[in-house]
Structure 1
């Protein structure tokens, strides 16, 4: 009689179920880079935060807020299928790079087709900076240095739509100075010994050359030039409502000004989304989000020296700036 195997179920290789979605780890804004051997630095990319889920027979692309945007990034999907993995979740940023290798949010918007453009969707690349799951193993419990060690052989040196976001070995202060001098948005510092934790915490830190956030477009003021845009009216989330935070009147070209004006007129409404009375203002449905660069906040909670950087649908509003209830933004 054949002898039964003495191998117990617990001796079999364990397989972690693949998460349907992972809430992303978010960086905390700080004034200067942390120091010490436990910190690694990366460029702060100016694009869309995405998670690429690779499974047998399909690839899914999810936004920071959990929306399925797979159909918007066909070249990333096609290239992800070529990676030497069975199952994986890659964390990273979708960007369009300019001729100097800098990410350009406006170019990304045009490649996605929101506004008229000569930029093709194939120009979009996914820069991966973390690996959360690989071939049946949940990697989130591992320290960052181990997750990067597993990620780099998969995507380093590739020229396709899926690439590696390089770590930079440098003094944090010097790297930040050079990043700002080259027109980058800023840098990210990550603690190499920490596991992957969803939500915002001190283990990932961002240091920006200027403040930059997303705000809901609630209206506009026409320009004195017929058919053009004078000023965008913006709002942040506060509790379950929208709170007016001022506007911006710079950052667009002559042609873009006209395109934005046409776009906003198509969603004009007589019911403002914020409690605001302003002569000549045209209010819009709160369905678009503007990326805005600014220096600080005024004492009464308005944006100071704001400049337009791009526009997108509000459907994934996880990135919209939120003011704590009964509070106002603080200067950094």
Structure 2
């Protein structure tokens, strides 16, 4: 360890190894405190068994001043600096006692103005060394140690940054001996700022190259087999955030995946999850549960700031990730922490998601702090954004899938011929999209991709009970005549569109039942009555199935459907049979899987026949969706009116035979929805989010009288304001909404001064 301490008469420099001499000289070149050309007109005090002559002779024998292998005997050289006139060259052969006396005499001079080193405190080199020989080993190559400067503190070994001084050190006068060279003439130091290995920035800059020009070896700054550094992914995120084109984003992400497949294939899975901003498949129900308040407190605890200071920075920067990054830049470290890896980051987030109980919030903060403490450069920015569940770099899930497919093709052995490559890349993208729509689970897809390749992926990854697929959705249409025009030569069916909650019921071979929402959220705990009754609804020969249906609130005494608002009063989870107050009825309209057979590629007519043959209707509990098959305009008009009279939203029109397969997670032209509202006014309904509120006046004083509504733009990852709404609310609804939204008020708009609907927004909600 190299340390500088302030002595009573002079500065002392302690070198535990002569490699520190090289580090010190290089340190001078950047800090301008020591001269590279010589050590000083010094009085040398020797202690230990190794002399300066031995060190210089050994350094001269090694090429370019390289550090000799092994650790020297424990010793140190104390060099006392005195201000003396230049003297003639003398041999340094006197015993170290005489040298000490000489130094003491010099230190007693009347002129005791502080030297450059006397103006400094203590410098400390404490970098991890692979060989423990005084040099830091990076990627197997020795590199000079860094000296971290902070504030003056003699007890903890930190130093205040040294300032320039005119009192530099003069060239040392060494004996004229062929065996003992002058430091300035014989010891060759590597140029300052020039490294034998590329920097992280140089490596990751290769990621912007086009896919065919990219070399994975050039982008990796870690060894094969080592865990992928999180810094690699963070820099890639930073580069993607600077791109606006989807092709450029895909190229960067493809190159990221190719580099990982080349170096550390086992880290591809955690990297994909982090890139997709997930910690587990959606149906696992893993939620981080980290709010902005928790992150603000964590940033403050990590970087020694109060919550008020963090909030002030948040107000200025508008992003907690940027706040964390700024705090890290302004903080000095005693020693460089161990580098984060993608695997470590994902593992920590999974641990955070599992935290429950009394101390769960504190434990979550501590785990986030452990990441922030080790995060460097742009890593804190994306640690925080991952914790928030929003990377804000414009990276869509479909882009992740395409990049993964391209990476798989471009790493195939033997390589794909250039003439065939464009077609193969397009084919691979379609394969992985189809596989993911049928099996949205990276835990199964990524290992299979590495094992069998992209061409055979669909053979090993397919739809199975227990992993919900995204529901097939319908596009809106404005009139029955539009339907007839659209399906002129195609037979179609019309079904009631029920006003309830879309559900996908999975019945496994072992008899277990899971219910999932349209967002793949497990809702079995919300509908235990439905899960428990499925055995009664199915026929005895049915061993496994996946049912697509709508669960609606139902008044069994009056025998009619209740509004969706009634159903929404059910708790989201933990519902017991004894606590159920709102009864439900299941309306089944599609069957996706039956007794080990996947039915997604079967036409609707076939799927419907399987449905009718496999289940039994139970009045007021389980029914098939009411449907007709007709091309008569008046008959369809009457059926629509009948649906509205039975408390339904309208009709769903579906093709029966042609282009009638089930398309998971897709809004298809082969399914159309028709509502009475569509025919009279707007062509579709909108699910909007309140982002602002306006104080009520008159009878609405004390509550919010109107709301600013917005929809989420997936491309920009922002909420875009749509309209202001203030009619149709009862006093009770306004009081309820106002009470629930007040907890989410933020002090200032996200975008200062933005005008919406001709007036300034008073409040915005997170």
CA distance in 1 between partners of 2:529 and 2:676 (Å): 31
CA distance in 1 between partners of 2:463 and 2:751 (Å): 44
Structure 1, unaligned runs of 5 or more: 1-15, 286-332
1:71 to 525, 528, 544: 525
Q: Could you say what secondary structure the match of 2:746 adopts? A: coil
CA distance in 2 between partners of 1:156 and 1:250 (Å): 44
1:93 to 550, 557, 563: 550
**TM-superposed deviation, 1:271:** 4.9
From the superposition, tell whether residues 54 and 241 of structure 1 become closer, same or farther in structure 2 (CA, over 3 Å).
Answer: same
CA distance in 2 between partners of 1:273 and 1:173 (Å): 47
Q: Tell which deviates more after alignment, 94-103 or 162-171.
A: 94-103
RMSD (Å) for aligned C-alpha atoms: 2.8
**TM-superposed deviation, 1:52:** 0.9
2:471 to 24, 49, 55: 24
CA distance in 2 between partners of 1:67 and 1:80 (Å): 19
Q: Is the 8 A contact 1:59 1:81 kept in 2?
A: no
**1:102-251 maps to which residues of 2 (within 5 A)?**
102-112=561-571, 120=580, 122-159=582-619, 161-169=621-629, 171-180=635-644, 184-193=648-657, 194-198=660-664, 199-210=666-677, 211-224=684-697, 225-238=700-713, 239=715, 240-251=717-728
1:60 is matched with which residue?
A: 514
Structure 2, unaligned runs of 5 or more: 1-461, 574-578, 678-683
CA distance in 2 between partners of 1:90 and 1:103 (Å): 22
From the superposition, tell whether residues 179 and 138 of structure 1 become closer, same or farther in structure 2 (CA, over 3 Å).
Answer: same
* TM-score between both structures, scaled by the size of structure 2: 0.32
**TM-superposed deviation, 1:24:** 1.4
Q: Could you say what secondary structure the match of 2:529 adopts? A: helix
Q: Could you say what secondary structure the match of 2:478 adopts? A: coil
Larger Rg computed on CA atoms: 2
**TM-superposed deviation, 1:272:** 3.9
Q: Could you say what secondary structure the match of 1:24 adopts? A: coil
From the superposition, tell whether residues 50 and 181 of structure 1 become closer, same or farther in structure 2 (CA, over 3 Å).
Answer: closer
Q: Could you say what secondary structure the match of 1:151 adopts? A: helix
2:763 to 261, 272, 282: 282
Q: Could you say what secondary structure the match of 1:69 adopts? A: coil
Q: Could you say what secondary structure the match of 1:111 adopts? A: coil
**TM-superposed deviation, 1:108:** 1.6
From the superposition, tell whether residues 175 and 110 of structure 1 become closer, same or farther in structure 2 (CA, over 3 Å).
Answer: same
Q: Tell which deviates more after alignment, 256-265 or 57-66.
A: 57-66
**TM-superposed deviation, 1:197:** 1.6
**TM-superposed deviation, 1:180:** 4.6
CA distance in 1 between partners of 2:596 and 2:645 (Å): 43
Q: Tell which deviates more after alignment, 221-230 or 18-27.
A: 221-230
**TM-superposed deviation, 1:247:** 2.5
**TM-superposed deviation, 1:256:** 2.1
From the superposition, tell whether residues 183 and 123 of structure 1 become closer, same or farther in structure 2 (CA, over 3 Å).
Answer: closer
1:168-210 alpha-carbon deviations (Å, 9 max, x no partner)? 3453233224445666422111111112122111211111222
* TM-score between both structures, scaled by the size of structure 1: 0.71
From the superposition, tell whether residues 90 and 182 of structure 1 become closer, same or farther in structure 2 (CA, over 3 Å).
Answer: closer
CA distance in 2 between partners of 1:183 and 1:161 (Å): 17
**TM-superposed deviation, 1:92:** 1.5
Q: Is the 8 A contact 1:88 1:132 kept in 2?
A: yes
1:6 is matched with which residue?
A: none
1:23-68 alpha-carbon deviations (Å, 9 max, x no partner)? 2111111122334671111111122222111112421111222222
